[in-house]
């Protein structure tokens, strides 16, 4: 994109495309003549999506960032802390994935709108906005009034992670009364039925009672003991265990990766009549240059000339 020939290649491809997706900082492509205005002028049906860190406007718009930064500024990191109050980083790229999913939804919505209007449009999505969307419930409740909105933070016995004798953990999500009652009876603490939402000393007493109970047996012993109890209790698995022994193992699939095949989570969307499938491995830089440019009308000599000049890879 630093060469005029490269810019012209992108413009030709965009003139034939349904969707143009870019993840540069605001204004970077416009300075090269690849902003939405000229591309839409040449292809009015184009859906032009910009996926940025902080959006097109505001003081943060031109700043560089990564997943950790978007989580920090979106309140996500600050809402997930360890016992010492330090923010805990998730292993998964939460902001990047949230931004990508929001962009996908936005592009599909724009394509659907095009079916009615015959026109494409500009789509603006930021990673920060994706994080904000994930924080909708806690942010809305906290700003609506004095309600601490802490039911899902581990502050109550019925929705909490408990350490077992072997140092591994159980996740308890017994929010509803029927699940809580079933758990209390299964663990041998019937006196705590009806006390899952209590605060203060009585609430702390219930939490400590369950901490002592779960600490008395290994995690997998509890899993076996509770397997037939409907109480929303599951073992906390690390990634290796989750995709080897847990139900998520059935979601793994092998995909091509050059000369080898890699195990990776399958597409989460299951379509009965038109199932999704990855038919090729992820391309190496320049692997499909000739194929794509030939389809766009460039001759073999033109493609080779652009390769030699560095306009394309």
- Tell me what the pLDDT averaged over the chain comes to: 94
pTM of the model as a whole: 0.89
CA-CA distance, 285 to 248, in Å (whole number)? Answer: 32
Is the pLDDT reported for residue 280 higher than 80? no
Q: Tokens 């390769």 appear where?
A: 307
Lowest-confidence pick of 64-78, 244-258, 296-310: 244-258
pLDDT (0 to 100) of residue 150: 82
pLDDT (0 to 100) of residue 255: 84
Domains in the chain, ordered, with CATH?
Answer: 1-149 (3.40.50.10540), 159-236 (3.30.1540.10)
pLDDT (0 to 100) of residue 231: 98
pLDDT (0 to 100) of residue 95: 97
Residue 70: pLDDT band with limits 50, 70, 90: very high
Q: Looking at residues 135-162, what average pLDDT do you find?
A: 89
Is the pLDDT reported for residue 220 higher than 80? yes
> Is 169 a catalytic site residue?
no
Model confidence pLDDT, tens digit, residues 86-127: 999 999 999 999 999 999 999 999 999 999 999 999 999 999
Model confidence pLDDT, tens digit, residues 8-44: 999 999 999 999 999 999 999 999 999 999 999 999 9
Q: What are phi and psi of 161, to 5 degrees?
A: -100, 130
Query: What is the layout of strands, in order, in the sheet containing 159-163?
Result: 159-163, 169-173, 233-235
Q: Looking at residues 65-78, what average pLDDT do you find?
A: 97
Of 18, 67, 69, 96, the active-site residue reads 96
pLDDT (0 to 100) of residue 262: 87
Of 18, 48, 60, 66, the active-site residue reads 66
Query: What is the layout of strands, in order, in the sheet containing 47-52?
Result: 19-22, 47-52, 122-126
* Distance, CA of 64 to chain centre: 20
Is the pLDDT reported for residue 284 higher than 90? no
Structure tokens at 11: 């413009």
Is the pLDDT reported for residue 191 higher than 80? yes
pLDDT (0 to 100) of residue 260: 83
pLDDT (0 to 100) of residue 145: 81
Of 174, 159, 173, 167, the residue nearest 215 (C-alpha): 167
Lowest-confidence pick of 102-111, 141-150, 209-218, 297-306: 141-150
pLDDT (0 to 100) of residue 142: 87
Q: What are phi and psi of 264, to 5 degrees?
A: -150, 155
pLDDT (0 to 100) of residue 151: 86
Angle 127-134/136-144 helices, nearest 10 degrees? Answer: 60
Among 13-27, 132-146, 267-281, top mean pLDDT goes to 13-27
> Is 48 a catalytic site residue?
no
Q: Looking at residues 42-61, what average pLDDT do you find?
A: 97
**DSSP state string for 227-260:** TT--S-EEE---HHHHTTTSGGGGGEEEEEETTE
């Amino acid at each position: 994109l630093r060469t005029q020939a490269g810019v012209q290649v992108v413009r030709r491809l965009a003139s034939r495309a349904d969707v143009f997706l870019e993840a540069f900082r605001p204004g970077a492509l416009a300075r090269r003549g690849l902003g939405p205005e000229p591309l839409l002028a040449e292809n009015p049906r184009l859906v032009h999506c910009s996926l940025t860190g902080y959006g097109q406007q505001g003081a943060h718009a031109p700043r560089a960032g990564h997943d950790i930064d978007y989580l920090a500024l979106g309140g996500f990191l600050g809402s997930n802390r360890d016992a010492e109050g330090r923010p805990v980083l998730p292993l998964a790229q939460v902001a990047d994935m949230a931004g990508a999913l929001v962009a996908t939804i936005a592009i599909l919505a724009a394509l659907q709108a095009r079916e009615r209007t015959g026109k494409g449009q500009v789509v603006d999505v930021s990673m920060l906005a994706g994080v904000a969307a994930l924080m909708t419930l806690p942010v809305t409740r906290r700003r609506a009034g004095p309600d601490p909105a802490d039911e899902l933070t581990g502050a109550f016995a019925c929705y909490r992670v408990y350490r077992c004798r072997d140092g591994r953990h159980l996740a308890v999500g017994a929010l509803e009364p029927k699940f809580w009652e079933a758990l209390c009876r299964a663990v041998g603490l019937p006196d705590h039925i009806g006390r899952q939402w209590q605060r203060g000393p009585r609430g702390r007493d219930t939490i400590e009672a369950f901490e002592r109970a779960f600490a008395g047996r290994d995690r997998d012993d509890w899993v076996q003991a509770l397997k037939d109890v409907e109480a929303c209790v599951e073992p906390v698995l690390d990634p290796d265990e989750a995709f080897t022994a847990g139900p998520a193992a059935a979601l793994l699939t092998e995909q091509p990766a050059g000369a080898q095949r890699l195990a990776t989570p399958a597409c989460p969307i299951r379509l009965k009549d038109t199932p999704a499938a990855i038919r090729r491995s992820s391309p190496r830089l320049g692997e499909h240059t000739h194929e794509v440019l030939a389809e766009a009308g460039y001759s073999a000599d033109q493609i080779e000339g652009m390769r030699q000049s560095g306009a394309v890879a």
